[in-house]
Structure 1
Amino acid sequence: MLFDKKLLLVFLLFSAVCFGQRPNNNENERNIKIDSLIINAVKLIASSNFTESVKKLEEARYLAQKIDNKSRVATASQLLSNVYLKQGEFDKANVEIRDAIITHQELKETDQLGKDYLYYAQILIKTQESQRALPFLQQAETILKGSRDPGVADDLASAYLYHGNILQESKKPDEALPKYENALSLLQNQKKKNYYVIARIYIQASRAYESLTNRDKSLDYASKAHDISINNNFPQIELDALALLGTIYSNSKDYEQAFAYLDTYNQKRQTYFGDNGSNTKALTIKNALLSEIDPADYNPARLVQANKITTVLIIALFTILCLLALSLYKNNNLRAKANELLQAKNAELIIAKENAEKASVVKAQFLSTITHELRIPMYAVTGLTHLLLSENPTDEQKKHLDSLKFSGEYLLSLINNILDLNKLEADKVEVEKATFNLRKRVDDVLFALERSAQEKGNKLILEYDKEIPEQIVGDPLMMSQILINLIGNGNKFTRDGSIFIRIQQLSKNETQTFLHFEIEDTGEGISKKKQKDIFQNFTQGSVQINRKFGGTGLGLSIVKRLLNLQKSKIELESTLGKGSKFFFDIKYALPLSKDKEPEERVYEIDYESLKGRKLLVVEDNKINQMITRKILEKNSMECDVADNGEIAIEKVRFENYDLVLMDIHMPGISGIEATQKIREFNKDLPILALTAVTIDENIDDFYLAGFNDIIPKPYKIEEFFFKIHNALKRKNVII
């Protein structure tokens, strides 16, 4: 029964506090004195007498502390913080607002706490800590939006304004504009307009629209801000608007108007803030303060009424607490046990989270390593294929080499998009827009898979709609990946059967065609239960199927993700033992020109100008050395080789080269370190990174190290020479 005694003691103390808090006459007099000091301080702000205002507020806080009136202490601290903030005394403002936040949190004065967060965020912004300010602005927005007091609309609008400014500072004007528009909507619906904040919002929104090159909107908002500043005597905003109008007209190449506004800006600036600009500065501070401080909020009658309401609410709250206390007591033991269980579960979750994070790091490291290791032999495959194709093969050999080249490109795409699961899961794969021949793509896929199908006794049967346009616009490599995965999947699970590939045009207009794809097999089929999970990573029909047919279980997951990127959806119909049918509908754009456009990118390269140019290849892999050398020498270029970074530095120091091809991962110093050392004594030599490293995430590091361009391995030969040609042309080595 110890708990019952403690509970009773709490009730008695609470009753004493609630009903014994009637202030005596002396306290009433002091409260009136405190309110009078605060009101006088606000009036002094309105007359730009900030020094006396600070003295009144400090006196009010001192008296409030003596009678332990925490609410008035916090009010005085909040006002002091705002005065210091507008005068640029940020350290003092920081101390005052922290005191106000602590007290308002203790008193649970939510609306005032919202204002505190707004002022604290302003201090952080002024002291170049915008990102730290963001969560406080978000808290202020949440609190003020939930307030029933219509008087907080100005503060909420200010919170939106500063939030928008941070987004604009982060180069996100499109995200900042909704914040500005919300703020304007709030203020324009008020009977008593806060023109100072409205004008500031117009200024910032105008800058955002100018960043997005919406010149009409930008000019409109800047003009409105200028008109408000003139009509309401806001000198700082008038100067900001004049400078902004000058910039807008300058960007519009209307230099006469731009000069006129900037000339007016210089004249006004000298007038307002020249040798005798102290009055204007005081006026600017006063305008900023009065935009956030409403003297009506500190009316004595209103404060007395608020005190009465607070007393009534305390009594009502106490009554409710008494009624709830018994039920809380009965549930106390159950809650304690639940808390213990929750803590144990939380501890397990924390451990699981840490393990997941470690696994994620290991996974990322593994994917980075395996991608690099796979690209190295792929470079040999694609390089040797190119060399063989250039040595006049027979028609039959060329047919097989073309198939090998196609398969190599597909495997490279897998290395870039499949093994890098992080990239796929984060939807960072971009859809290319290129004109290509769909029928040729389909034929290439079927040719690449024909032998595999024959080995299993399967027939690949194509039903292709002749009405489909010869040229369409989309991502050809992505479509190849989808078809290879779906047809390869059907072939894997079918023996002595057929795989039907049906491609039909559903509709067509002048700009696009709507196609239907079906891949149907007569193989194993998929059970209803497994059909729900078959598109997940590393999922197959069963363990027995995995052992019988092999595979990673990634193919269908990749198909689903690639189709989602193209705003399509994969569907499945399957009967166990009879086969499966995968189908999807997809839209492709049509070329604007009626003439046929080339499927591959056309590289403009003057091969004659490359002849006789001397290149240094820095590469530790002997096979890669041989392939790169042969490719260069086939085009009559001189090639020298360095096995590592140290040798490369010495060769560049004592010999003359037109260009350097630099690998990244080498024994000793890396290619990045070698390039940095070369740049210490040779700033002009073109250096290209020829590397199997995944560069998407750290491409800036390559350019900062001194590389002129990057050629990821394996590469297309045309792209290889195109980048070499461009690098030499930019450095005026060739004309």
Structure 2
Amino acid sequence: MLVLLVFLAVAPFLQAQIDSTATDSVSLYFEQARTLKNQNKLDLALSSLKKAEELAERKDDKKLLIDSYQKQAILFLELDKQDGAEIFWDRSKGLLEDIEYPYGDAIFKYIEAIMLYKRNNKFQAIFMLDEAKQLNNDRNFFNNILLLEGIIYVDLEKYDIASKNFNSLIVNTDVYEKEYLATRAHLGMSLLNLKTENYEEGAINGESALRIASENSFDKEVKEANELLTQVYESMERYDLSSNNYKNLLDLRDSIFNAEKIRTEAKTANKIQFDFMSDTIDKQDKEIEDLTDETNRSEIIVILVSAFLIIISLLAVSLYRNNQIKLKTNDLLQTKNSELQGARDAAVSAMEAKTNFLSTVSHELRTPLYAVTGLTHLLLEENPSKNQQEHLKALKFSGDYLLNFINDILQINKIDADKLEPLNIDFNLKRTLQEVIDSLQQSAKSNRTKITLDYDENIPSHLMSDPIKLSQVFMNLVGNALKFTKDGEVKVVAKLMKKEEEDVTLYFEVADTGIGISKEKQDSIFEGFEQGSIQINREYGGTGLGLTIVKSLLGLFDSKIQLESELGKGSSFFFELELKSKDSIVDDIPFEITQQDFEFKGLHLLIVEDNKINQVITKKMLSKKEMTSDIANNGIEAVEMAETNSYDAILMDIHMPGISGEEATIRIRKFDISTPIIALTAISLDDSLESFYAAGCNDVVTKPFKPEVFYQKIGENIFNKRVKSTGS
């Protein structure tokens, strides 16, 4: 009895140990298959995955079984066996319908994206990859998505986006496929360089890919690298090197990529596919056999089955006719589906064209605006006559107005193109609202209007959200209220509605005593370029985009702006937000950031700028503060000059012919990690401040900029950095 009790107590732990060992074995087979696939030993990789499938099936672990099916589908796609891939892909789909498995759902969409790309549906493939990224954040999975995206963007001739993907993979830290991903990224960059006729970089990336592939026995990548280098060196008229790579290619085809290897891989794939289908048929036969045995045991069941067969026979003709109708209907549906897919692709292309057009226009307008605002600032400092001063101030006002207009268009364009995502960081709401109000006090005084803040002190001091975008919402709402309110009051309200543990619901309102909005105009007031009437636009000015931006930004937080207004009596805009609170965080000691005065005399800077007018303006602005400067006309010159000279800081334009400012910064950081680099850019839709900082920039100033901001950024990055270095 004691032995029995001990056995009953220990049995669950023994079973758990067995289950854990089985799971580890499946994972081992997966890892083995991944290594073999990367070494182009596809037949052996398929065999490993078959063993993993059998073990997962014995263990009755649906998630591991889904993983094995999906990995086999990917390998079949690698072998260009679409039918075999779809069989395993469909089998994983059936299992995914029965369980909750986000990683399996993500891989399922990733495989679908590969299939779409192979069928030349590139935009749909990109769309499917975006959906896959939302389902899982596994680093290896994300890196493989970046690689496939880069390949597709090269085909679409979107070389800037493809280059960002490949460059991030070249320096990846993937736990499983670091070298393989870096090799594929170098190959992608080499192909991109070949297509853009940047043969020197193409050769560098091709040689890097060849070196890593050779060190890790990535035979397929060794072959591709030799193919690319043959073309690159031929284009460079380096026929000796081209000939060497071509000879390597022939040797590889003879020794590795021969007919026997292809036959072996095809034979293994066909056998696995055949075995899989045979197993499925055997299972169905077994089910039929079990049913037959049951029938023999009971005469009643035999009678029922006979009656059922008679009914089936009677229904056969009807089913046949229905099947014919169904086939015709399916043909019609497929035709319509093809038409809808074509229309969808056209709509995606049209939206992309519109987005790119607005981005390009707003970006290109910033460059001449830099000349207008820069020259205006310089002329105002050169003691102009009174009449000239009036004209220059008018010109400055017009430039500032146009810049705000362009910024509003770019902001809406970024939201429409899904380029903006809200952050989730700790911030103090009261401080944020007070900063918005303080920044608008001058506008309030000019309209003889008072701004008040009604703030509920029960609101937690530490909230999690995006303070920058919330500031933009209130800047637009309060700024809009001030524009239409004279000799009155604008009231900002923040109230706590509900708090359950860390979940907080807040109510916000911006109310004014201004001119109000008529009932018939309240529905359309949030549409772009809408201001209520032409007369209002002429009297009060503005673009009519402020409330559109508010509506779009709140949409990022799943919130909706609402309005109550009466003509002549004022307006009230209100909304609710759901946020997270962090009660455990201790309040910071409040402090004020003061504008600093810097001694710029004697500093020597490098200006990297391809526009001649902008070169003159920037150089003269530095000269005003007794700073000297050198000029680099492009990214290549910038790298060479930074390597041979010493500078206190580098002012780096981002968009230039040849290599971009980002790429130039990356190259400079390889030999100089200390010199401050400040990006000066007419930022566009596809630009990302995160990518500037990731490249190695210390700060970013958007063109056209205010002179005081320009000087402040230079001083902060040179002198404050020196103070920190001395302190350390």
**TM-score, normalised by the number of residues in structure 1:** 0.47
